[in-house]
Amino acid sequence: MLSVDALDLKPKFNWDETLAPHWTIGEEGAHRRLENFIHSGLAHYKEGRNLPAKPFVSRLSPHLRFGEISPNQVWYAATSQGDGKDIDHFCSELGWREFSYSLLYHNPDLATVNLQKKFDGFPWSGDLAALTAWQKGDTGVPMVDAGMRELWQTGFMHNRVRMITGSFLIKNLLLDWRHGERWFWDTLVDADPASNSASWQWVAGCGADAAPYFRIFNPVTQGQKFDPDGDYVRRYVPELSALPNKYIFNPWEAPADLLREANVELGVTYPKPIINIKASRERALAAFKALSQGA
Ligand SMILES: Cc1cc2nc3c(=O)[nH]c(=O)nc-3n(C[C@H](O)[C@H](O)[C@H](O)COP(=O)(O)OP(=O)(O)OC[C@H]3O[C@@H](n4cnc5c(N)ncnc54)[C@H](O)[C@@H]3O)c2cc1C
């Protein structure tokens, strides 16, 4: 009879190797993370929460998702520090989580069914090659690629970048938000049936209290505003790291000699953008406008 060892069932590689340093699973890890955040992140939260390169968000989401800490414990730890805009804003984000759960309770098929029925006839593109490029962080748009690679490598993605990558998928690539919901569901360590579905519907504009259709994030200006030193992009898209800040979010606009000096060859060392940001924005605006006018 064959022994278990002889079956050689051990995984050939440790798929969780790159995720492990970012999430100490369990109650103890959750409380340590909360303490760190209370002491070093909370006081900078309101503005700092938008900067993906900075450590000003709590990263408590996987702990909350799996019940390793409760929202009540987090709420009271924050409010016991006093009051002020940072604490208020942090608590309001916990409120979004509760709101998502309320939406899921009343709409059990939130992950698949548009809350706003008029979106049922939306003319989504079926470009699956673009979907693969988005999933792999190979779109040629650095801020989007940095986010998708952070997700793949760590199981986490900063909230600001979730909104940027989500908007890019839905509005620039015109791909159905459910593709994004499913990918995040498969890859996030905090993948949550309520927050994930509600947030994707919010980005698409078909959810409750959703972002209006004309709110289309420009991944270049978002990068310039929220990653002004390019640190986040350089961390996850190292092949662009020698580019100056002026072109780190839009390498396709860099002069040829500058690209050469930075060892960047578009289409070879880093992809050319798979879509024209301006033209795809216009296409999305036209499609969403037609929908809102009932065309
Ligand atoms: C497209 C998209 C998909 C998302 N999918 C998920 C998901 O699967 N699971 C998940 O927990 N969050 C999701 N979010 C919400 C948000 O991005 C994460 O909760 C947040 O980035 C987690 O990081 P943090 O713990 O450092 O958050 P902090 O900013 O420190 O906030 C503290 C806690 O508040 C809650 N929270 C914060 N922002 C939101 C929000 N917008 N909606 C609901 N709850 C929020 C989370 O539980 C979070 O841990 C998604 C957002 C978008 C735009």
CATH number at residue 275: 1.10.579.10
Atom of ligand 1 nearest to the CA of 200: 1
Take atom 40 of ligand 1 and give the residue whose Cα is closest: 96
Atom of ligand 1 nearest to the CA of 41: 30
- The reply to whether 149 falls in a domain is yes
- The reply to whether 9 falls in a domain is no
SS3 171: helix
Report which of 73, 115, 71 is spatially closest to residue 95, judged by C-alpha positions.
71
How many whole angstroms from 195 Cα to the centroid of ligand 1? 7
How many whole angstroms from 191 Cα to the centroid of ligand 1? 9
Domain end among 106, 121, 137? 106
- The reply to whether 2 falls in a domain is no
- The reply to whether 96 falls in a domain is yes
Q: What's the Rg (C-alpha) of the chain?
A: 21
Q: Are residues 121 and 72 in the same domain?
A: no
CATH number, domain of 98, equals 1.25.40.80
Annotated active-site positions, please?
Answer: 93, 96, 124, 159, 177, 200
Domain span including residue 93: 20-106
Q: Are residues 221 and 78 in the same domain?
A: no
For residues 225 and 251, what is the distance between their CA atoms, to the nearest angstrom?
17
**Residue 48 has what pLDDT?**
97
SS3 270: strand
**Residue 212 has what pLDDT?**
77
Residue listed under structure tokens 């503005």: 47
Q: Are residues 131 and 263 in the same domain?
A: yes
**Residue 11 has what pLDDT?**
67
Q: Are residues 38 and 177 in the same domain?
A: no
Q: Are residues 172 and 269 in the same domain?
A: yes
> How many domains does one find in the chain?
2
Report which of 205, 185, 214 is spatially closest to residue 197, judged by C-alpha positions.
185
Q: Are residues 164 and 254 in the same domain?
A: yes
C-beta of residue 65 within 8 angstroms of C-beta of residue 190: yes
For residues 155 and 19, what is the distance between their CA atoms, to the nearest angstrom?
6
Q: What is the DSSP letter of 8?
A: -
C-beta of residue 179 within 8 angstroms of C-beta of residue 256: no
**Residue 97 has what pLDDT?**
97
Q: Are residues 244 and 281 in the same domain?
A: yes
**Residue 77 has what pLDDT?**
98
Output the pTM of the full model.
Answer: 0.95
- Ligand 1, pocket-test mutation among 61, 70, 135, 201, most atoms within 8 A of CB: 61
- The reply to whether 13 falls in a domain is no
Q: Which residues of the chain have pLDDT under 50?
A: none
**Residue 295 has what pLDDT?**
52
